[in-house]
Structure formats: structure tokens, C-alpha cells
Structure 1
């Protein structure tokens, strides 16, 4: 957790938090952005340049430290080799061939990688008449996804990829384009070969096997693998020359795209100059315009690896096409980890996008390295999501099965039973296809009623009769019959029906039992008003209405014995047994409300009263009296004692004497004078009690106070 513990002595330890130095910005010679990497302890970080070597075309090189040069030979050469072998004999070779014998130009044929005891070959071969990417491990063809001895094989878009996670190496090859990426922390200052030294210094980039520094085109000849010089025909000349450009060669149109707005958003991420130079070199020396495509392709690939999407092929007038199988579509910026049915697929590390062939929208790649797109995925294992191989199910009225061999979903139309012949001959019925509840994908024919198909029926009735439509059970079309009744304002009313009339009468259609044939007449009677009103209400006629209504004219006070009392507006009333409660009737906004007022009596204790003075208050509700004087007695209380800034920690019980004693002043006949008698309520027995007080300075003080034990009336001089 980024702390250091130092054992000192006497079983004591010192814990120190790791202090990281300030992170310093660095500038990389190859103009690639520096990346932030952790130190060995994993607590602190520092910037580090990226060791990236790439090549393309016939062929053009950009070394680890960003030096661009062109090298034209058709032998096998050392691309990368360790000066001091640290990582299991790791090295990378390139095998060139003459791709344009007329001009003596060469192109990359294959990349050879050595690590531990393994030999890896990435190349392109003719398979079924088509040039195809082929990967070898120890001289045996392997497929993407193969891994052994710490070496991982995969493909991404058009690239073959070999990754060695133990040393952080990634090598890609797509025919005309290759790249070697190594971590500076492991390979910095320890590489040599045609890719350079990876020292973040262009001045020592072009190193000969002897350690001498020279120019890169001359250095490249010296990294021939083995002593076979027959492949190049002649030993390296002292002055390196390249085929001269065609006379009057102007900048090819394809090359201009690199510096145009097509690649503009990548210019600040990766400098375009080396790729532009390589494109012009190829365009001015090789008549085949497609050779220029490799310069644009590698620039777009490097941009995509850093998350910058360049859609450039459509701007080349079909000179640089990218052909996909019929079931896939080309995307210039597809995901480096497209969705597949195989839940065990391992995601490619890093970020960015890549060009290549992808499944169209709504379809999923069967597996990472297949070219098959499916609408639905089958299961690859019991733990992954999907459907088990061989499992069958129904979807969208199709019977589907997950093929055990191809793991593809195959569906056929759901088979329905032969329909039964149904004839709808009754009037108004028509055949309708209805979904079968137990088999929703199939339908059956049923006869449904459609009254718009019924024939028109005309029926003549006598005056006072109406044509009535009746639908018999089980029939679709109705039948008509005549029925007598009342016709008022051109509206027919059946016998017994209420006929709308005025507010003060009610009318019905009444059938006369004495007429033959039966005849119906309208009978009306005047409305009878109910004038009875409940207690407290008065019947009042309403202008313009047939009957009046009951309006409240008094308040009703319910009593506890199931009786009520009628209280007029403004009247005050007390129940005969309760002078403390007063009822009154008040009118607010046309509503009568009963208001109840209750008097609350003060506390009354007859023991404290002079019995001769107990009486009712003037309103007859509460009792009152004259309080008799209390006799002399001892009273108890509690209080906090305070003395000279010290206080008791809790309230202390104290006592005192209080009450009335006999005292008078009256004339004595015997003494022929006024006789006076006085007595006081005071203590007659006390004791001394002690309490400990706490002072503000934290000390304690023992304090004594007088406690009254007994009180009495004691005579005193008047």
C-alpha cells in the first residue's frame, strides 16, 4: 500500500509513506506522445517514450526514435535485436523480396520472430487463388486464438498480431505494413538492427553491428542475416543509391490526401511527414498506383490505434479498395472488440478503432475469428448466456433449432393443421379468421355476426302503434313487429312508461283495459306536495316551483337522554342540571349554528375553607369560600446551597416553620385595660447538618447548616 516499515529497536517500527517525486514532462524524439507508466514499486509514476518501429511499401522505415529512411534489398535482415540479451533471445527479422523487378524495388514478404525456443512466421500466401494472411508457429500453421510458450496469436481487421505479454512486445504484419512495439522500460538503450536503438536520441539511431554510428540507409545493409549475399546479388556499395524518380514527377494525388483535411485531425497526434515522403517515393518510382496505398493505410492504422478515425479509402477513386465477403460490410472505424456469440472471447487490450469487415447491423459474429454473421447466438457453454446446442424453440411463428455442428440458428415456418371447411349460411353471418388460443401462430374460421349484411325489413303498423325490432337468440338479423303505446311530440312511449311533463304534474302512458283492440292513453295528475318538515325546520314555498322546501329556522340541541331542545336564533339556554354550559343559536352566511360555551372552574378544596363561607358563584356554576388560616407547622423544601463561590453537587433538603398562631387584643374588665396576646410560629427543636460543597477552583468545602426538626407557636411580647 505504498508505505515503508522500518524496524528500529525494542520492538518498535517506523511507518513511512512513499513520497513520489514530481512527474516531469519529457519530449520524445519520434514525436509520439509520452505515456505515463508506474515505477517498479507501483506507487509512483513517470513519463516514458514509446518504442515504435514501423515499415511499409518498398519498404520505408521509421525507426524507434523517429528516423525515416528507405531501404531496397530482397534478403532477410535483423529488424530488432538485443544488444545485451536479457529476454530469452528475443529478436525480430524481416524477409524482403523484389516486388518490382523492373525498378529494383523490394517489399516486405514476411516477419520472423524468435522468443525462447519458438520461431514465429507471419506472411501472406496464395490460398485457393486468393492472397491470404498465414501464421506459423514452429513451422506449423496456426489459427487466431492460438497461444503457447507465452506467445499469443490474433487478428484485428487486416492485421496479423503476435503478442508476448511477459516482455510487453507486440508485432503486427498485414503484407505491405509491419510494426514492432516494445516498452522503453525493458528495451530502452538495448536494441539494435534496422529499427534502431530506442534511446530517444536520433544521433545514435543508426548503429552498425560493430557499434559504430552511421547513416540509416547504409546501416541497413549490414544487418543481413547469415553470410548469404547471393540474395542481394552484390555486396553493399560504399555509397547507397536508390532508383531515381520518373522524369517530371509531380506529387501524386493519393499522397496529397495525407496532408489534406482527410487526415487533418490526426496531424497533431502523429506527424504526417514520414508517411508523405514514403508515398511520394513510391509514386514517383512505381507505375502501379496501388503501391501508394500502403503509406495512407499505415498512417490511418497508426491514427486508429490512438482513437482517431480516418475514413480515407472512399477518397481514393477506388484505387485503394477494401473488399469484404458478401455477408459482411466494410467499416473504416470498427470496434477492436466486436460483439461475438462466443462468451469466452478474450478482449484485445488497449483502445481505439480499426478498419475491417464487420457484421451488418442486427447481426453478430459467430466467433472472434470466423467470417460468419448470425441473427441469433447459440450457447458455447453451460455457463454462458444463450441457447444450448440442439435446443428447439418457437419465435415469431417460426420453429428454430440451434444446430449442434455449426452452432447457427436455423428456423422454419411453424406448421398449422389443415383448416376445417366452415359455411356461414344464416343471414348476417360472415366468415372471420380467429387466432387459436392454444396455438397462437395458427387461425381457424368462425362465423361472426355483421348486422350491416342483414336485409332491410319494412313493416306497416296502425296509428298509435310502433314498429319494434326484436333479435331472437342465436340469430344475427332482427325481426320487426307492431306494438301499441303512446305517441307524444312524435316520440313513442310504451305502456307504463313515464312521459316528461311540467313541474307540477306527472304523466304516464296508461293502457286502457276496456278498449278493443287495446289502446293506450296519456294520464296525468297534479303533483302532491309534502309540507311536513322535521323539528327546527319550516315549510317555505319557492317562487316558480311547484312545491316548497323545508328551511331551518332554529337550532336543535341533542341531549344525553335522547331528547332535543329547540333553540331560536339569538336565544341563550342552560340545561337545568348544568349551569356551567350555555347554548346559543347563531346565523352565519345563511346557516344556523349551535354555539356551546363552557365555564372552567378554578380548583376547589373544601378542607381549606371556612365551612360557614362555602357558596356558589353568581352564575351558579362554581363553588367558592373564604380560606381559613393554616396552623403552625414544619414545611420541607429542597434547594442548592451556595456559599462563598462553592455549591452543593445536588439539591439539599431544608425545613422551615410557617402557619398562623393565636393572637388578640381585647378589653379586660377585671384589669380595666386592653389585654394583648401574641404568639409566633417558630422552631422549638433544631439540629446541625453537614454537606460537602464543590468550589470553582476544584477544591471541596465542608459546610454546616441548621435543620428545623419541630415547630410550634411560641408566646412573644406584643
Structure 2
């Protein structure tokens, strides 16, 4: 037997232990003289250390005749293996062309009955059992020469014997296209013996493994365990040596219950399996024949692994499903009793005793739904039926991108509402009335005033779901003060407004109205004058004082002193010689237009000789009259303001010189 395990530990056919770190593909066993067509066993190692340069097995290859069997690890955590034959993935068990491949516990087993050769591999360790009578003195490779003589275990590939294990192992490197770095033999590193101590490794030399010491010496496994403990800070590597030693012991029928003493080396089983340190190498299944049962009971080999619980067994070597009744196991790995019907992959199946065990018929699809997609936006899709997953149905699917999306333009008082009716795909667009009143193109909320060109007051009113505009005539309640009247500025002005039409004068305690251009004297003072004028639409009332000329009453004829027509100034008939020019300041008025300020004017004033005497000749009174009149004048201009606010130029006569001139005396009878 040749073994390999852990951190590249090897045990040759002749029992020599050595350690070798190689990262290439190597020959484990080949014939020196070829007696078998195409036979050999090879191991592919890889660097599995994080920081230290340790290697682990990755793939085991066995060549026999026309078949190349490869067992390789697919995942490291958890460890998962699969088998290939000539590059094609196979399922276990496999029997073809003189090769049997099956699983025993945690190991993949390859048997070649013609050669009585048995190879086991679990991704971490391997065992190769070959009959001495068939292969003695005719093997080479890292497993040694199979001569029962350890002296020639260091034979290299060229047939020479060396004293260095590393040089021997390197010589069996195989050229691998996927490992271009493995084209030449690397230099031989020095061998450092382990110096570590490990309580876990001490289990190998202690009472736990003691009953196996007589079947397989423990020293190589103990040294390998210490080496892993020294080189790898990982107790799982140490566990490999204990596990491999226990498996070799199990091949001899020696059961080793070591994991209960090694908490650092746990093993976990699925929920439907139980752990057994010493389970049968080939468990009885539903497919096991009575003859096979007898052979299995005589087989004392035990293996560690996860097994079916008590009261159940594997259905077969090919279908690793635990069953309590040996009926059938469906394609979905679900066990069924004889006579039981079940469905799988749209087939109705039944578990029958005998024959193929399971018969299936394809399910018939009746009344398959097929929808007609006539509404906009829908299109037909064929899918798995919602009522029967084994049948297809044609249903309508909504695709909004297929919708036309044309919508109306809503007028005043309406808003666009978008909705999707039940059973429809595309949205519907509807102009729905708002909760408002409409006047012209304007919208009014309930309670708000509505604009109207008529003399009405309008309000938006809500009566249930109806919205109407209620209008009432506008009631004008305008009272204007004195001097103001109601006037409309435009046809749309319903009530108008108070606008001034007259000047208002406080006339000695009471108010009097004056039109533009009116002049009104004071009741108590004839020399005070009130005047109303309109200036740029503004009514202006002005108060003026008349300045009377100086009157020397001594120059007046007796009894001639009297007031002027306006009752303000005194006038008289001047004595002779008193006719002269008199000046005065006053407002000048012409056709309702008045000067802006007082104007300096002149007049002839004074007395002239006038007499009445009896004429004897005429026998009547003879009258002689003279009048103080102008004899020289000039024309002056002045600005007058009219009631409408306009200004005009006005020319008046200004007296320059006065004299007494004769005049016709008035008829006294007139």
C-alpha cells in the first residue's frame, strides 16, 4: 500500500516515510517493464499555504487501457469532489471497461478488479493498494519500487539510486501544459526535521490508536503530524494525519474512535445523516442482492463518514437518498412507496414494483386559455399557465408604449382627468367639470365676486353639484356735499362719483355756491370780493380787497360825496381845477374772464365848472356844463383767465391826461 496525506507526506509501498513539497504533477506509480497497456497513477499538487510554502493534492489521475479517470476537488470549503472519465463528468457508481468507481464514506474509490488494484481519494489523502504478486519489482514513481526492500525506494526515474528523497521525488515530475513553470527540475531544498510538540499528534502514539499499532506502525503518521504542526499554523492539517491513519486502520477492520478525543477536528453531517466513525465500507442498499449482503457482512472494512440513520438505508449506490421503505426514488431524489403516484416535469408518474420501477406519462393540456387582445396597448404572450404549470396559455400583456396617448384640450371650467379603467391598458382622458363658475374665459370659485360689465353685483354660488352666477343690480348710495354732484366717468361707471361743480364760499356764516367767473361782494364789506375760477379742473376761490383812491373831501363840491356803484369807495364832484388823472388797482373783468392779479388803471376825476343861470332873453334857465374828461389815452394789454381755465389777451384804455371840457347839459325833464 502507498499513501499520501496532509502537508505532502508520503508512505511508499515498502513502508518508507518521507515529506516532499512539490507544486507540479508527478508519477505515483508506473510499470518499469510495460506489461499492462496504458497504466499509471499520477498526482497533481498545488500551493495551498497562505504564507508558508506547503502543497496539497488537487487531482488524482488513473490511466487504464482506454480510460483516463480523474478525481478532482471543485471547492475547498466545503470540500467537494467530482469524477471524470476521458474528460467527461460521470455519476457514481460507474462501471465500464473493467473499472468500478463508487463512493465509500468520504472517499471516492476506483477499483480495477483485473489488476486487483484499489485506489481511494478524498481530496486530502490517497491510498493505493496493489497486489505484490502482480507488481513486485516492477514499479517506479514516488510510491517506490514494491520490492519489500526499503534500500531501493530512492530509485530515480532514470533508474539510479540517490540518497535524497527530494531529488527522487523531483525526478518523477510530469510535463503539464497548464503548468509551464514545471518544465525543469527545481533545486533540492534542505530537509528540516520537525522539532514541535503537539498534544493532538500524541493521540497517534497513545491508547486511542494503540490497537492499530500492530497492523500499521504509527511512526510515519506521528512524524507527519508533527511536521504539519511545525510548518502550518492550522490544526486541520494535523487532523489529516490522524484521519488518514484511522482510515488505514479501518481498512484492516480496526475501528478507531478518535474524534471524541480531538475537539479541534470536528466533522459535520447533513441534517438527514448521522456521523459514524466506523460505518460499513459498502452499506446495504435497497438494490443490494442477498448474495451481496452475505459478502458485505463478511467484509470487515470500516470507514468514517455520514450515514443513513437507524431504520433507513441508501436507496442505491447511484441514488444516495435515505429511505425507510424500498419503493422508488423519483428524478427529484424524493422517495416514493410502491403504488404511489407523483408529478415531475409535467409528467404523471407512478412507483411500481419490478421493471424500471417508475413509469411516467406526459400530462395532457385541456382547455388552454387563449385571450384575444383587441383593446389598445395589449399584445399576446405565451407563458406557463397560472392554473397548470405544465401547460402553456396565451394571455394579453399591457405595453404602455403601444398606447396612442391622444387627449382632448379642455376648455374653461374643465380639467383633464387621466385614469385606467379595469381591464384596460391605455389611459382614458376625460374633461371633467371643475367646481367653479364660468364667465367668459375666466373661472371663479364659489363665494368669489364675478366681474360684470353691467351695473350688477355678481357672485359665484354653489347649489349641490350646480355652480351658477347670481347677479343683483348695484344699489348706489352716494351723497355728495355742497358744491359737488354725482357724475359718471364712463358708461361702465354704474354709480359715478362726487365731482366738484361749484366753488363753495363761507358767506358770513353760511355757505353759498359760485359758478366759475362769478364775483360776489362781502355782505359786511363791499371792498371784499369773492371770486370763483376753474384752473386745470380745480375749482379755486379767491378773496380780493378793492383799494380805493384817496379822496380829499375838501376838494369836493358840497353835497357831492357818494359811494361808488359797488358800494366800496367814496366819490364826489371835485371843485374847479381839481380835474386830473386818478389811478387805482382792481381786477379787470371782461366777458366772464378776470385778470390774474390787480391791474393798475387810471381815470379822470375832479370837478369842472357847471352853472345854471336865468336868461332874460330866453326867459328860461341857461345851463352851462363841463365834464372832467380824458384828452390823451394809451392802450395797455393784460392777461385774463376764463372760467374754463384758459388765458386770453385783453386790451384796455389807460388815461394819460384829463381836462374840463364843455358838454351838453342833460334835460332835466328826462
TM-score range, shorter chain: 0.3 to 0.5
Select the structure of larger CA radius of gyration: 2
TM-score (norm 2): 0.47
